[in-house]
Amino acid sequence: MLATQKDMLEMQDNLNKNQADLSTKITELSANLDNLNSQLESNQQRMSVLSQKLDDLQADLERRFSVLSGQVTGSSTQGPSTPGAMYRLAYNDYQAGKFDLALVGFRNFLSQYPKADLAAQAQYNIGECEFARKNFADSAREFDKVLQSYPRSEFTPKALYKKGIALQQAGKTTEAREALKRLIKEYPHHELVKSARDILSE
């Protein structure tokens, strides 16, 4: 009889311990669930923000392509109707860091107005867009187009300088030095000559 009471007490102790363990685990599970719910809400908020940004980007792209399509087909749109307005649209994208859109705008501008007053600047800005996107070899080629197509432009010495920097970034040191030396030789009094000399002396 005594042994049975002892066994019963041990069983009661075990049950109490198991109940305490179970209670602790339930508390832990509840805390984990709260954590997961909090993370889920946070992720849902992030997804909502991302979804809104994607919607804005899609709307912006649709508007831009609608404008460009209207310019190509000649149909009436709410887009820019003059070379200056068309250039400003692309330049605004460039300043806003929307380099992909800016490239489309500048290239479309050049395809329609290759002899316009802003053409050299548009071509130069294409080089700047590629440079900003870290496409340094492409950037150097775009700056070179300024030299080829608009050799008497005020942007020619700037293009020579930036071509040198882009080539340097692309690891083409010899070609970079040639571009900078050409700048110094052909435009000895330009404000960028000092920077070119500093780079060459490094």
Domain layout of the chain by residue ranges: 1-79, 80-201
Whole-number Å distance between alpha carbons of 176 and 163: 7
Domain 80-201 has CATH 1.25.40.10: yes
Owner of token pair 């068309």: 86
Helices assigned H by DSSP within 74-170? 83-95, 99-112, 119-132, 136-149, 156-169
Question: Residues near 160 by Cβ (< 8 Å), separated by ≥ 6?
Answer: 143, 147, 179, 180, 182, 183, 186, 187
The pLDDT, as a whole number, for residue 63 is 60
Higher pLDDT, 57 or 113: 113
Residue 60 has pLDDT above 70, yes or no: no
pLDDT, position 76: 46
* Mean pLDDT, the chain, integer: 83
Q: What is the pLDDT of residue 82?
A: 85
pLDDT on residue 114:
92
Question: Among 5-9, 38-42, 59-63, 103-107, which is the least confidently predicted range?
Answer: 59-63
Cβ(175)–Cβ(167) below 8 Å: yes
Q: Which tokens is 146 given?
A: 């300024």
pLDDT of residue 25: 82
Q: Which residue has the tokens 């970034």?
A: 169
Q: Count CB-CB contacts under 10 A for residue 177.
A: 16
- CA 121 remoteness from chain centre: 22
pLDDT above 90: residue 160: yes
CB distance 80 to 88 below 8 Å: yes
Total-model pTM:
0.62
Tens of pLDDT, residue by residue over 68-92, are: 666 565 554 455 568 889 999 999 9
In Å, how far are 123, 138, 147, 193, 194 from 180, measured between CA atoms?
Answer: 19, 18, 13, 8, 10
Distance of CA 68 to the CA centre of its chain: 22
Amino acid identity, residue 59? A
Residue 138 buriedness (CB in 10 A; 0-12 / 13-18 / 19+): middle
